[in-house]
């Protein structure tokens, strides 16, 4: 394929870096905006990498038009919810992603829950409230040991707006956080479903092509920095494929049908155009019990690639990514063949700044030098996808919570996990500052998994 010029709207996140890494490896010329301090390291392929500091929808459209990019790819959810795709489409500029009306699936938890329940998509019962007193009264009346609720802020909060609490008191405090600390106008109380979580991303646009399954790790996990191990995060690790998929126990047809039903439900509700972009439902597989069989539920819907899931997925992708992105943006995915995947397993762990996910704690540990930089073309079985980093006096330093995602390949989870943690080496290898005392990461990614 002739080299294409691609604009990726992404900042300090490993997802945007991973997308740029993959496209550059295919020989395309990639511009990251605003990028991060390591964006210049992504050019393992023949493609050129440049960085632009623009982050406003109108200015980005002006820039894309002037530079004649073949395609613009949007990493995070906020620009999508704010209508960047609408601006590009209005000008006739090629872009991959859903328009504002479809981005509401992620922009409003209340909206996505209502649409799914209205059109029969399997999702837990949920109740929306616009006041603390209403939500508080409901929880006090309905909370039981065998009936609990996940507290979700309606809007976007960087993966930190969902609270899975085990007591009524903590759930009430979570509602208070939603309205007062996060400043949201509505809260969704979703019936809690337990089971096995599944991350399932797909490309949509005149067809449907599934990406490799994955499982992410949301909890901080055991650590030496005094953080509650159950604290929720934007994601601190991931594996691909999902363990159920690796052992042949995952019904991929059911997963795909559920994803397609979400698209159909939203298109029926909007009655304005068709969905195009990424669909990424968060699923829960509930085990069978005496009164019901095994069931799969949609807990939430995202309209962009997952972070950190994209790193472990792209590391296994053998097919070129660009043709699929272009086909989806042109509503002709049905013409494309199935995507080919490396049969090996990928395991990834996030190197975080001590104190993550709490911003006040993170701020105290910023500016630490990053250790373990590698030539991105040297090691087939190991990759570093950079996130919250800046370059200062020629060295990379941490500039936020999730610093890098380290991904390793192996013939099974055990070998991939061993390769990963050997490279991190308790923070003495890939890490921050003086090693263990400045490096936060989960030590149990892929532990006990069988492929």
Write out the DSSP string of 145-202: TTB-EEEEESS--TT--EEE-SSHHHHHHHHHIIIIIS--S-EEEEE---SEEEE--E
Residue 405: strand, helix, or coil: strand
Handedness of CA 254, 234, 302, 174 (dihedral sign): positive
Model pLDDT for residues 51-74, shown as the tens digit of each residue: 555 558 888 899 999 999 999 999
Please report the pLDDT score of residue 52 as a whole number.
55
Confidence of residue 45 (pLDDT cuts 50, 70, 90): very low
More confident call, 451 vs 72:
72
Per the DSSP assignment, residues forming a β-bridge with 369 are 397
Q: Are 220 and 229 in contact (CB under 8 A)?
A: yes
Model pLDDT for residues 163-209, shown as the tens digit of each residue: 999 999 999 999 999 999 999 999 999 999 999 999 899 999 999 99
Model pLDDT for residues 313-338, shown as the tens digit of each residue: 999 999 999 999 999 999 999 999 99
Q: What predicted TM-score, i.e. pTM, was given to this entire model?
A: 0.94
Q: Are 450 and 243 in contact (CB under 8 A)?
A: yes
Q: At what angle do helices 252-270 and 109-118 cross, to 10 degrees?
A: 100
Domain ranges of the chain: 5-100, 125-191, 196-335, 345-438
Look up tokens 């949201």; give the residue.
184
Q: Are 105 and 280 in contact (CB under 8 A)?
A: no
Nearest 5 degrees, angle CA 179-CA 184-CA 186?
A: 85
- Could you tell me which CATH number the domain at 5-100 has? 3.40.50.20
Please report the pLDDT score of residue 255 as a whole number.
95
Task: Compute the distance between CA of residue 394 and CA of residue 448 in angstroms, rounded to an integer.
Answer: 40
Type and span of the H or E element at 237: strand 232-240
- Could you tell me which CATH number the domain at 196-335 has? 3.30.470.20
Per the DSSP assignment, residues forming a β-bridge with 202 are 210, 279
The answer to whether domain 196-335 and domain 345-438 are alike in fold is no
Please report the pLDDT score of residue 173 as a whole number.
97
Model pLDDT for residues 90-138, shown as the tens digit of each residue: 999 999 999 999 999 999 999 999 999 999 999 999 999 999 999 999 9
Query: DSSP alpha helices (H): ranges in 10-108?
Result: 14-25, 57-67, 77-81, 84-91, 100-107
For 345-438, which CATH class? alpha beta
Task: Compute the distance between CA of residue 130 and CA of residue 388 in angstroms, rounded to an integer.
Answer: 34
Model pLDDT for residues 364-394, shown as the tens digit of each residue: 999 999 998 876 666 789 999 999 999 999 8
Residue 41 main-chain phi, psi, to 5 deg = -90, -5
- Could you tell me which CATH number the domain at 125-191 has? 3.30.1490.20
Please report the pLDDT score of residue 252 as a whole number.
93
Q: Which one of 3-12, 281-290, 416-425 scores highest in mean pLDDT?
A: 416-425
């Amino acid at each position: 394929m002739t080299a294409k010029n691609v604009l990726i709207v992404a900042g300090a996140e490993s997802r945007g870096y991973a997308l740029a890494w993959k496209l550059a490896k295919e020989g395309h010329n990639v511009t990251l905006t605003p990028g991060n301090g390591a964006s210049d390291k992504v050019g393992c392929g023949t493609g050129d990498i440049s960085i632009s500091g623009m982050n406003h929808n109108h200015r980005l459209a002006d820039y894309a038009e002037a530079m004649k990019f073949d395609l613009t790819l949007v990493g995070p959810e906020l620009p999508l919810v704010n209508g960047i795709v609408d601006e590009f489409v209005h000008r006739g500029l090629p872009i991959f992603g859903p328009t504002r009306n479809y981005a509401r699936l992620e922009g409003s938890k209340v909206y996505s829950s209502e649409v799914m329940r209205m059109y029969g998509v399997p999702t837990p019962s949920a109740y929306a409230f616009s006041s603390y007193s209403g939500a508080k009264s409901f929880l006090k009346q309905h909370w039981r040991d065998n009936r609990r609720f996940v507290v979700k802020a309606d809007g976007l909060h960087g993966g930190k707006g969902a609270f899975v609490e085990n007591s009524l008191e903590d759930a009430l405090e979570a509602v208070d956080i939603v309205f007062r600390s996060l400043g949201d106008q509505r809260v969704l109380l979703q019936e809690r479903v337990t089971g096995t979580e599944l991350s399932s991303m797909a490309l949509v646009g005149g067809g449907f092509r599934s990406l490799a399954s994955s499982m992410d790790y949301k909890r901080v996990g055991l650590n030496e920095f005094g953080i509650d191990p159950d604290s929720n995060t934007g994601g601190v690790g991931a594996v691909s494929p999902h363990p159920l998929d690796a052992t042949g126990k995952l019904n991929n047809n059911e997963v795909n049908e559920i994803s397609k039903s979400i698209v159909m439900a939203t298109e029926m509700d909007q009655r304005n155009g068709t969905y195009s972009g990424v669909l990424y439902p968060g699923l829960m597989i509930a085990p069978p019990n005496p009164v019901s069989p095994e069931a799969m539920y949609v807990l939430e819907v995202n309209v962009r690639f997952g972070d950190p899931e994209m790193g472990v997925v792209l590391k296994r992708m053998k097919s070129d990514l660009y043709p699929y992105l272009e086909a989806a943006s042109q509503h002709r995915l049905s013409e494309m063949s199935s995507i080919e995947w490396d049969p090996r397993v990928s395991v990834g762990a996030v190197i975080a700044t001590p104190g993550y996910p709490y911003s006040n704690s993170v701020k105290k540990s910023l500016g630490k030098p990053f250790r373990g930089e590698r030539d991105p073309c040297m090691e087939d079985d190991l990759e570093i996808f950079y996130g919250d980093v800046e370059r200062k006096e020629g060295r990379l330093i941490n500039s936020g919570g999730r610093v890098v995602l380290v991904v390793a390949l192996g013939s099974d989870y055990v070998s991939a996990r061993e390769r990963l943690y050997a490279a991190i080496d308790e923070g003495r290898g890939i890490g921050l500052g003086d090693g263990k005392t400045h490096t936060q990461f989960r030590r149990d990614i892929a532990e006990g998994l069988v492929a």
